[in-house]
Amino acid sequence: GSGQQSVTGVDNSGDHNSYWQVRERSSSSIPCSRGRPVKCGQTIRLTHVTTGRNLHSHHFSSPLSHNLEVSAFGEKGVGDSGDDWVVQCNEGTHWLRSGYISLKNVLLMHSCKLVEVNM
């Protein structure tokens, strides 16, 4: 792997170490405001609330899955284009809390499937 902070998915939505903030893509001058719906097809960044690092991918293999690694990268929300992800929805026009989504890394154009948990 890359040696960066590893990222794994868990079902426990009560785990404070699993919170991510939705932010604007790295090249955007328009800030992502709280409460604004995220559109399917929109490019975003996810910043880990505890560490301030962005969800990131690059050309390193994961030591667990042997697929491309997903890690956390950067400092205080500042990173690079490997931090940008396109929201892909299974249905509808916006990311819904009760729906399934995939995130496609803009730099590498590979997807990671996420399940959004009802809150």
Mean pLDDT of 89-115: 79
- Beta strands (DSSP E) in 33-99 are 43-48, 54-61, 68-73, 85-89
The token duo for 55 is: 């969800």
pLDDT digit string, tens, across residues 4-48: 666 666 666 677 778 888 988 877 766 678 888 999 999 999 988
Measure the CA dihedral 52/112/36/39, to 10°. 150
On average, the pLDDT of the chain sits at 78
Residue in the structure block whose two tokens are 């794994």: 8
Rounded CA gap, 113 and 19, in Å?
A: 17
Higher per-residue pLDDT: 88 or 100: 88
- 60 pLDDT tier (thresholds 50, 70, 90): low
Rounded CA gap, 41 and 7, in Å?
A: 23
